[in-house]
Amino acid sequence: MLTYAIVAARSGSKGLPDKNIRDLAGHPLMAYSIAFARALGCDKVICSTDSPKYADIAAQYGAETPFLRSAQAASDTAMEEDILRDLAVQFTSSGIPSPDLIVWLRPTFVFRDIEAVQNCIDVLKRDDTFTAARTVCESERRLYSIDSGGQLVPDFDDQGKSMIRRQDIGIRYKVFSTDVIRFRPDDITDDFLGRRVYGQPVPKFCGLDIDDLEDFQVIEAIIRGNRSLVSRYIYLK
């Protein structure tokens, strides 16, 4: 099966301008995802970006940018399915064979487990009943909302108790780190992952996401201050 890694790195971050190329412990943020993709050994490592500057930086780290993302697919409201549709059009117009699988790499996740992602790929190759695969990490399961009056409202069954053990609720997972997608260029909807998605647990480190400056500083402190703790999850020296 033809497998492409896609590093989705648009230039229009509002909360932290140019976040995807901001220096993190000596390298631009998106370089960590590119290095991972190269270590994974995908048939192509493609940076999907709207910026020639980003494309040049991606090339320095070993990714190709055979085309720039369309304005629509790079807008503030664009979702993954919009980028996938854009890729489908661009592959055809550029004469690039469409892949069977796409490893979707969000640059804001620095730490990844290569064996876990490889297993996601292997599962999809050997079991065509799975529509996609996602790495997931355990999350807090006792979550609350605050209603319009300021009252805390449990989003779980608290069994009428003020305190409840997490073991009494069961394990919950968060997603949005790394996905492996069956690429169907003629049928890309907002349910592009499908309804039978394989879940691959990964260490909690792999769930750390950079959304703002504070997240950036925390992850940089981890890399610089205790690299041995996360060395197996990063692929840049």
Model pLDDT for residues 177-208, shown as the tens digit of each residue: 999 999 999 999 999 999 999 999 999 999 99
Q: Is 135:178 a contact under the CB 8 Å cutoff?
A: yes
- Mean pLDDT on 3-24: 92
For residue 66, CA distances in Å to 59, 78, 95 come to 10, 20, 10
Residues present in the chain in total: 237
Q: For a pLDDT cut of 90, what percent of the chain falls above it? A: 91
The full DSSP string for 171-211 is -EEE--SEEEEE--TT---TTTT-S-EEEEE--GGGG-B--
Q: Decide if pLDDT at 233 tops 90.
A: yes
Buried-state track 19-49, b at ≥16 Cβ within 10 A, e below 16: bbbbebbebbbbbbbbbbbeebebebbbbbb
Q: What gap in Å lies between CA 104 and CA 193, rounded to an integer?
A: 11
Read off the pLDDT band of 14 (50, 70, 90): confident
Q: Is 45:62 a contact under the CB 8 Å cutoff?
A: yes
- Mean pLDDT on 5-30: 93
Read off the pLDDT band of 226 (50, 70, 90): confident
> What confidence tens digit (pLDDT) does each residue in 32-66 have?
999 999 999 999 999 999 999 999 999 999 999 99
The pTM (predicted TM-score) of the whole model is 0.93
- Mean pLDDT on 126-151: 96
- Mean pLDDT on 13-34: 93
Q: Which of 98, 134, 119, 129 is nearest to 1 (CA)?
A: 98
Q: Which two tokens stand for residue 125?
A: 């190759």
Fold type of domain 3-137+172-233: Spore Coat Polysaccharide Biosynthesis Protein SpsA; Chain A (3.90.550)
Question: Could you state, in order of their start, the residue ranges of all structural domains in the chain?
Answer: 3-137+172-233
Q: How far is CA 20 from the centre of its chain?
A: 13
Spatial CB neighbours of 126, under 8 Å, sequence gap ≥ 6 = none
Q: Which two tokens stand for residue 194?
A: 């499908």
Q: Decide if pLDDT at 155 tops 90.
A: yes
Phi, psi dihedral angles at 25 (to 5 degrees): 55, 40
Q: Decide if pLDDT at 16 tops 80.
A: yes
| DSSP conformational letter for 69 | P
Q: For a pLDDT cut of 70, what percent of the chain falls above it? A: 100
